[in-house]
Amino acid sequence: MTEQTAQPQPEMTFFDHLEELRSRAFKAAAGVLVVCIAVAFKVDWIINNVLLKPALDNNVQLQNIVPFGQAFLMIKVIFTVGLILSFPWILWQMWSFIAPGLYLHERRWASRITFFTTLCFLCGVAFGYFMLIPSMMAYVSQTANPNIENNIAVTEFYSFMVNMLLASGLMFELPMITWVLARVGILSPEAMTKYRRHSVVGILVVAAIITPSPDPVTQIMVAIPLYILFEISVVLCRMAYAPRSTPA
């Protein structure tokens, strides 16, 4: 039996798996708690220099309109940032639980998928924070009616930030989704090449939707990274495509 087909660990009983799962879940939760405690000491800096920065840079006024709103905001920020910073630790605990049940070649495949999926998501979050959200805040500031006081509830702004960053991160998962679909034979490079023009139109429509500014320069600046993602997806599709075998 070769190294790639041999099981790396002896077989565990059902209760052994439950105990291992409990242990990994406890370690993951403990890691999140430790990071959240550390974040709590810097929560004011995070709120002022990270969360509120896109609004303050564009002179968008924020306000608190509910009792204990700022306290709840601090708790949300602590938990969100703590969860993000401890995400690699959570992934490691998940991987440590799953890895013993995989073959060697499956371990290599899964570890690469996990790494590049995380990398793509973080790139999407960075794109949303440094490009999408500032352009949206600039549009809000530029189109404000002088007769209307444009004060935004800080809790609504927080929800907007989280939703936009999550959407941007998921959008950047396109190359990995394409790779997986091509690997199992569902998506072919021929299909992606055939519908390239349709994809370009779709990218321009998406860029126009997620960019409220009518400025075509801003929309093109958003569309270019999306098109690059599409072309990367085409290359990955050609590398990973494995036609599904037809039954005899």
pLDDT beneath 50: ranges in the chain: 1-8, 246-248
From the number of C-beta atoms within 10 Å of its C-beta (0-12, 13-18, 19+), residue 142 rates as: exposed
Distance from C-alpha of 189 to C-alpha of 183, rounded to nearest angstrom: 11
Per-residue pLDDT tens over the stretch 184-239? 788 888 888 888 888 889 888 888 877 766 667 777 877 888 899 899 988 888 88
pTM across the whole model: 0.77
Distance from C-alpha of 151 to C-alpha of 52, rounded to nearest angstrom: 13
| Of 67, 49, 79, the residue nearest 155 (C-alpha) | 67
Query: For residue 75, what pLDDT is reported?
Result: 94
Query: For residue 6, what pLDDT is reported?
Result: 45
Q: Which two tokens stand for residue 31?
A: 């890691």
Distance from C-alpha of 61 to C-alpha of 106, rounded to nearest angstrom: 51
